[in-house]
Structure 1
Amino acid sequence: MSADAPDALFRSPLHERHIALGAKFAAFGGWEMPLEYAGGGVLKEHTAVREASGVFDVSHLGKARVTGPGAAAFVNACLTNDLGRIAPGKAQYTLCCAEDGGVVDDLIAYLISDDEVFLIPNAANTAEVVRLLAAAAPEGVTVTDEHHDWAVLAVQGPQSAEVLAKLGLPTEHDYMSFEVARFGGGELIDCRTGYTGEHGYELVVPWDAAAAVWDALIEAGVRPCGLGARDTLRTEMGYPLHGQDLSLEITPVQARSGWAVGWSKPAFWGRDALTAEKAAGPRRTLRGLELTGRGIPRGHMHVYAGDELIGETTSGTFSPTKKVGIALALLDTAAGLTEGDLVQIDIRGKRTEARVVKPPFVQPSVR
């Protein structure tokens, strides 16, 4: 698939389905994707995922494949997390870092075998991740951009297993594991992953088969959900969004994502810079903030401790579950804040009190 013009937005294979459902669209990483649907909106879609089930078209996410002798070892020497910790059939959250420790992207790696790894980067960063890996690949290892070969449907919520069972798809595999399954005469990848904090699955489906899978899910009673609800759900979990809470300027040490770094590995991109930053301690740290009163924080709002400017928010929203404003914020480590301390967020010129908390803001139900 290609866009109609160099500056046009790419579209999912389900675009016409979204139009029929009255979707409101927005640009995400160079793609035109549904933000919310008529008759629901972010609040109802968010609630459906927390209480029942919802399906997100996240086909804008990238897809890339690394193949050849020692492909997994090669990927392991580039990305931060340690593929040696998992076995084939498992998936792993990992980071692609620059040499200075900044985050080029965060992504999911599907370990298929020692000689094959399937990657799901973020939409806007797919080309760069593929470029970097291809430039570093040894002879015999091939890196292929499959961005437009696959759709991705995220079925999330406490009833998601029941829904997939209706479609004859596997549901009993462990969290962060995947199975190849058959549906409608073809194959898809059924992975126990998600970005909502709920029990759920992400289905990697051949591009041309996406409509049939989507229709079956809707017929089974799943509520279609847009990326607006996906953002409120992930913020309640404190999950970082690249470009906001992780970026080339925000390292995994600062973002408290060091758990996704294989510190004992002999090599990965950015290792020296990140090891040094970890040893010295980061100058700023990603913290959770929960408003004590009314207000809705957004990204890039100043945060104060008394009269001292100590940082800024990176993500912010109204929590539909807790009925309160919440935010992630990069705050000066030297401020010495601990959980329960009070700060102020400048929300459109008004200082609004918030309490420092440890994410997640809502207890996750992943199992």
Structure 2
Amino acid sequence: MSDLRHSPLHERHVALDATMAPFGGWTMPISYPDGGVVAEHTAVREAVGVFDVSHLGTAVISGPGAAAFVNRCLTNNLDRIEAGQAQYTLCCADDGGVLDDLIVYRVTDDELLIMPNAANAAVVLGRLTEAAPDGVRVTDRHAELAVLAVQGPRSPEVLDELGLPSELDYMAFRDVGDVRVCRTGYTGEHGYELVVDAAAAPGLWDRLLAAATPLGGRACGLGARDTLRTEAGYPLHGQDLSPEISPVQAGCGWAVGWRKPEFWGRSVLVAERENGPARRLRGLRATGRGVPRPGMAVLAGDAEIGHVTSGTFSPTLRTGIALALLDASSGVSDGDPVRVDVRGRPLDCVVAKPPFVPSRVR
């Protein structure tokens, strides 16, 4: 733990007696003692939760034509959004594998803020730096900025209490003082992510929790963030997306600008899309007692047809759920029965299209 990076809010988490654990090279809160993951998960679904996600990378890409440059690199089409909007996109290798999935904030045509995953930030920034034309700069601001997430149906009330803008369109952002407020999140609920200078983060955290607590809200850790995103059917890089799992296989083709003439991995991905992927990411919902976990085999009859990439117990549905990479040749589709091998015991499941709970992000 001594070699791990600390969030600007580390002392706040320690004071709350959070369970801390390594994540992406950082030590981050997994849960808090008053109720744990299930209570935190439920607070987000029913009221509001406040997360520290400062492990997420932050970098500014600036200079003449910065947006056009990034649009030639990442999969999604930045021309679809305007200044003041954000976009989910993918950084792919030349062979079509996913090096990372990230959010891009379009500030102007000549300035972007990108938010990669913690473990992949160095790879993404290194690749962009190497490819950048003269005059375009890639500036790592990971140590200078903090990121907080306010998620749940009562999240607008929290922002209103702090005088921050809550009436934002989905994936739109606005700067107010030293806080950038964006209507994004990773929970499947209406929510926001706040980017702020690291030095100002502890004070903002305190104010957010003070506003959230009377509404039934609470501090939430990365354990609840994982169960929430799995219920929402959101992929996690390193499990559901990876250098070995392409956007086509993962069902993320919607985040690819197929008509763009250029982006990393384009030729391979276009061919895979046209030919059809050999495997596809599907949702599974347990109908028997048990919880599917990553790496467990999925079977149809006696034949192994794939494996679980993400699996957990759903606090909302009170049953096991999973994302699984299944052979396209197996022919299974939504509603079909399959089994997961849970340490030698078969767990009956049904193929189900995510999200597992209704999305309320918009």
What is residue 52 of structure 1 aligned with on the other side?
A: 47
Q: Does residue 200 of the first structure (1) align with residue 195 of the second (2)?
A: no
Tell me how far apart the structure 2 counterparts of residues 341 and 137 of structure 1 sit (CA, whole Å): 47
| 1:281 aligned partner, one-letter code | G
Q: 1:157 aligns with which of 147, 152, 155?
A: 152
> Residues 68-87 of structure 1 correspond to what in structure 2 (within 5 A)?
68-87=63-82
Report how far residue 231 of structure 1 moved: 0.1
Match of 1:95 in 2: 90
Pick one of 272, 279, 304 that aligns with 1:309.
Answer: 304
Distance across 2 between alignment mates of 1:68 and 1:271:
25
Q: Distance in 2 between matches of 1:150 and 1:195?
A: 19
Per-residue deviation, 1:253: 0.2
Q: Using the TM superposition, give the Cα deviation of residue 208 of structure 1 relative to its aligned residue in structure 2, in angstroms.
A: 0.3
**Is 1:256 aligned to 2:256, yes or no?**
no
CA shift, 1:264, in A, is 0.1
Query: Runs ≥4 in structure 1, deviation > 3 angstroms?
Result: none
Report the alpha carbon displacement of residue 304 of structure 1 after superposing the two structures with TM. 0.5
- Per the TM alignment, residue 305 of structure 1 is displaced from its structure 2 partner at its CA by 0.6
Alpha-carbon shift at residue 348 of structure 1 (Å): 1.2
Alpha-carbon deviations, 1:290-334, whole Å to 9, x = none?
Answer: 000110111000000111010000000000000010000000000
Instruction: Give ranges in structure 1 of 5+ residues lacking alignment.
Output: none
For 2:205, the equivalent position in structure 1 comes to 214
Letter in 2 for 1:9: L
Corresponding residue for 1:25? 20
- What is the alpha-carbon distance in structure 2 between the residues aligned to residue 89 and residue 37 of structure 1? 34
Q: 2:179 aligns with which of 178, 188, 195?
A: 188
The answer as to 2:317 corresponding to 1:326 is: no
Q: Percent identity?
A: 65
> Does the alignment pair 1:136 with 2:127?
no
Task: Map Cα deviations across residues 241-265 of structure 1 (whole Å, 9 max, x no partner).
Answer: 0000000000000000000000000
Determine helix, strand or coil for the equivalent of 2:55: coil
Give 2:207's aligned amino acid. Answer: A
- RMSD, aligned α-carbons: 0.8
Question: Does structure 1 residue 237 correspond to structure 2 residue 232?
Answer: yes
> 1:83-111 CA deviation, whole Å, 9 max, x = no partner?
00000000000000000000000000000
Counterpart CA distance in 1 for 2:66 and 2:97 is: 24
Aligned to 2:272: 277
Quote how far apart the aligned CAs of 1:162 are: 0.3
SS of the residue 1:26 aligns to: strand
Which residue identity lines up with residue 313 of structure 2 in the other structure? F
Q: Deviations over 1:169-210 (max 9, x none)?
A: 00001010000012xxxx110000000010000000100000
Distance 2:116 2:235 in 1: 14
CA distance in 1, matches of 2:53, 2:31: 13
2:294 to 296, 299, 303: 299
CA distance in 2, matches of 1:67, 1:338: 45
Q: Distance in 2 between matches of 1:356 and 1:68?
A: 47
Matched with 2:112 is 117
2:170 paired residue number: 175
**Runs of 5+ unmatched residues, structure 2:** none
Alignment partners' CA distance in 1, 2:220 and 2:14 = 13
1:23-82 deviation line (CA, Å, top 9, x unaligned)? 001111000000000112000000000000000100000001110000000000000000
Distance across 1 between alignment mates of 2:121 and 2:141: 10
Offset of residue 167 of structure 1: 0.3
The 1-side partners of 2:191 and 2:197 are apart by 20
What amino acid maps onto 2:318 in structure 1? K
The normalised TM-score by structure 2 is 0.98
Aligned-pair CA distance for 1:358: 0.3
| Shift in Å, 1:22 | 1.1
The normalised TM-score by structure 1 is: 0.97
Aligned-partner Cα distance in 2 for 1:316–1:65: 34
Asked whether 1:343 is paired with 2:338, we answer yes
Give, in whole Å, the separation in 1 of the partners of 2:179 and 2:45. Answer: 26
- Write the distance in 1 (CA, Å) between the matches of 2:287 and 2:237: 27
What is the CA deviation profile of residues 217-248 of structure 1, one whole-angstrom value per residue up to 9, with x for unaligned ones? 11112410000000000000110000000000
